Chains A and B, each alone.
Chain A
Amino acid sequence: MRGSLAVAGIAIWEAAVRLLAIPDYLLPPPSGVAEELVVRFSLLGRHTGVTLGEVGVGLAAAVAGGFLLAVIMAHLPFLHRGLYPLLAFLQAVPKITVAPLFVIWLGYGLGSKVLMVFLIAFFPIVVNLTTGLLLVDPDLLRLMRSYRASAWQIFRAVRFPNAVPYFLAGMRIAVALAVVGAVVAEFVGADRGLGYLILLANAELRTPLLFACLVWLGAIGVGLFGLVHWMERWLSPWARGLHEPGAVSGF
């Protein structure tokens, strides 16, 4: 039966913690984590809201900025030749290390986290969008040109629809990175958010609370992932190839 392995895993975890009398601060049993989720619901909810807000604003900015730059690059071949390899190169650089700089610039508040989310989510979005805008069937372009279509008409009827599945594939990478970016930025310096709460729980050895934070983080990640997945089915049901879960990407 599907899911039996996961259920068995949780049961073994629960039994092992109880039988071996493992202390809560080392490894809480699943029931303890569940209890913590219920008892500390308002605390967890407040900090989850903060992190979710950072992720949401940063992602929105990354989509807006990425879209703008991708459209400019798609229409200025010189800029594309110069900038695209740089952006592709920067994708492999661990951007998360810049988090402490953003804390110096913008302080412990939301700003430094939003900037981190923006920076980390921007690259997959702009790289994929540019690819989608440019990797168009040349026959379609010739057809449009033979009808004397304007640049705007070509963009609206050919390039943009072509780019949608690429954009969503980039979004799938970006949402996973965005949550990591927000949490690590909170690790580095914050007074709110799930990353802050994780460090606090860690310092006080309240491991059940730490696990509860991880559950909420997972929920955010899965929720955003599901949202993108739903958008893929809704906006580009024809592009099956790009939806395969085989292609994984990193930060």
Chain B
Amino acid sequence: MADRPKRAWRLPWEPVALAAVLLAAWEVGARLLAVPEYLLPRPLSILGSMTTQGGRMMPQLALTLGEALAGFAGGVVLGTLVAFGLASSAFLRRELQPLIVFSQSMPTAALAPLLVVWFGLGVAPKALLALVLVFFPVAANLAAGLIQVNPDMLRLVRSYRATRWQTFVKLRLPHAVGYLIAGMKIAAPLALIGAVVGEFVGANRGIGFVILDSAARLATVEMLAGITYVGLTGTALFLAVELVERWLGPWLVTPR
């Protein structure tokens, strides 16, 4: 959504400066007004807690990240299969398209407690919730990329008597890669959200559990340290997908 230039990638200084000013105002304001730390911790205390609690939180964060990545992988595979199905069969398209649009408006994260009933308090329900959240944007975007090919190119390929398979490999698939990446960009933070919400609902491990547990103890500084770690991880996942995009090359067709 951000319309930054693709090639000359540099960190613009304005947002960094503004973020620094806002954080400084938060720090100074909280000190001057003597806001109690359990209500609103200061940025420096959060940073301090991130370093002191880092050793305790890293294994929990790693667990959550593992759940998110497992769900991400599963969701991408399943979404790809369904998208291929949608692209190759008019019947499936007619039957499944409304369901996919419907599921976009469904608050899927609410499935978390049900998954806990089915799969217990372990790792599985978190990874599955991540999978469900990842599945829909991947399937919908990839299907759009496979289907919405330039009709002129389709006619051209047909005039050469290309088989269905050739049309798929030479035309549809290359066109769809950019759409797939766009879907994965949306899905990467969702995978993490799925894992964390799953832990909110029922867990005794993971960073979501740490956050909720700190909240229950009014250890707000620790809680915000955990939240910041989740935020950084989400950003890292997003950037990782963006790196893949850059690596695949500038010829990608990106959906508007």
**Cβ contact of A3, chosen from B95, B140, B223, cutoff 8 A:** B95
A88 to B235, CA, bound (A): 11
In the complex, whether A149 has a CB less than 8 A from a CB of chain B is no
Hey, what's the 0/1 contact readout for A83-121 against B, CB within 8 Å counting as 1? 111101101111011111101110000000000000000
Contact A179 B17 (CB under 8 A): no
Contact A202 B137 (CB under 8 A): no
Contact B200 A187 (CB under 8 A): yes
In the complex, whether B152 has a CB less than 8 A from a CB of chain A is no
Contact A217 B18 (CB under 8 A): no
Contact A94 B109 (CB under 8 A): no
Contact B231 A97 (CB under 8 A): yes
Q: Which parts of A17-52 form the interface with B (CB within 8 Å)?
A: 25-26
Chain A interface, >50% SS class:
helix
Which residues of B sit under 8 angstroms from A26, Cβ to Cβ?
117-118
| Closest A residue to B100 using CB positions | A245
Contact B193 A214 (CB under 8 A): no
Contact A88 B2 (CB under 8 A): yes
Contact A198 B110 (CB under 8 A): yes
Q: Which of B107, B179, B192 has the most CB of A within 10 A?
A: B107
**Cβ contact of A248, chosen from B38, B117, B140, B235, cutoff 8 A:** B140
CB distance from A181 to the nearest CB of B (A): 9
Contact B38 A104 (CB under 8 A): yes
**Cβ contact of A187, chosen from B15, B100, B102, B112, cutoff 8 A:** B112
Contact B106 A217 (CB under 8 A): yes
| Closest A residue to B202 using CB positions | A202
CB distance from A106 to the nearest CB of B (A): 11
In the complex, whether A244 has a CB less than 8 A from a CB of chain B is yes
In the complex, whether A131 has a CB less than 8 A from a CB of chain B is yes
Contact A94 B113 (CB under 8 A): no
A26 to B39, CA, bound (A): 41
In the complex, whether A153 has a CB less than 8 A from a CB of chain B is no
**Cβ contact of B235, chosen from A89, A97, A103, cutoff 8 A:** A89
CB distance from A93 to the nearest CB of B (A): 4
In the complex, whether B181 has a CB less than 8 A from a CB of chain A is no
In the complex, whether A70 has a CB less than 8 A from a CB of chain B is no
- For chain B, give the interface size range: 35 or more
Q: Which parts of A57-103 form the interface with B (CB within 8 Å)?
A: 78, 81-86, 88-89, 91-94, 96-101, 103
A3 to B117, CA, bound (A): 29
**Cβ contact of A217, chosen from B107, B116, B137, B197, cutoff 8 A:** B107
Q: A94-B231, A97-B196, A214-B110 are in contact. Are A81 and B104 (CB under 8 A)?
A: no
Which residues of B sit under 8 angstroms from A251, Cβ to Cβ?
189-190, 193
| Closest B residue to A25 using CB positions | B117
**Cβ contact of B105, chosen from A127, A131, A207, A221, cutoff 8 A:** A221
CB distance from B190 to the nearest CB of A (A): 5
Contact A225 B104 (CB under 8 A): yes
A184 to B223, CA, bound (A): 17
Which residues of A sit under 8 angstroms from B39, Cβ to Cβ?
104-105
Q: How many residues of A contact B (CB 8 A)?
A: 68
Contact B223 A101 (CB under 8 A): yes
| Closest A residue to B40 using CB positions | A105
| Closest A residue to B21 using CB positions | A82
In the complex, whether A150 has a CB less than 8 A from a CB of chain B is no
**Cβ contact of A93, chosen from B2, B108, B234, cutoff 8 A:** B234
* Interface-side segment among B47-55, B154-162, B166-174, B208-216: B208-216
CB distance from B249 to the nearest CB of A (A): 22
Hey, what's the 0/1 contact readout for B199-223 against A, CB within 8 Å counting as 1? 0110000001001101100101001
Contact B223 A5 (CB under 8 A): no
Contact B227 A97 (CB under 8 A): yes
Contact B106 A221 (CB under 8 A): yes
Complex A-B: 17 CB contacts under 8 Å: A3-B98, A84-B2, A175-B105, A180-B109, A187-B113, A194-B110, A199-B113, A202-B201, A218-B105, A225-B104, A244-B144, A245-B144, A246-B143, A246-B144, A248-B136, A248-B141, A251-B189
Inter-chain pairs besides A89-B15, A96-B197, A249-B186, 16 sampled, C-beta below 8 Å: A3-B95, A26-B117, A26-B118, A82-B15, A85-B4, A92-B234, A93-B234, A94-B193, A96-B193, A104-B39, A104-B218, A187-B112, A187-B113, A222-B106, A245-B101, A247-B255
User: B residues within 8 Å of A by Cβ?
Assistant: 1-4, 12, 14-15, 17-19, 38-39, 94-102, 104-114, 116-118, 133, 136-137, 140-141, 143-145, 148, 179, 183, 186-187, 189-190, 192-193, 196-197, 200-201, 208, 211-212, 214-215, 218, 220, 223-224, 226-227, 230-231, 234-235, 238, 255-256
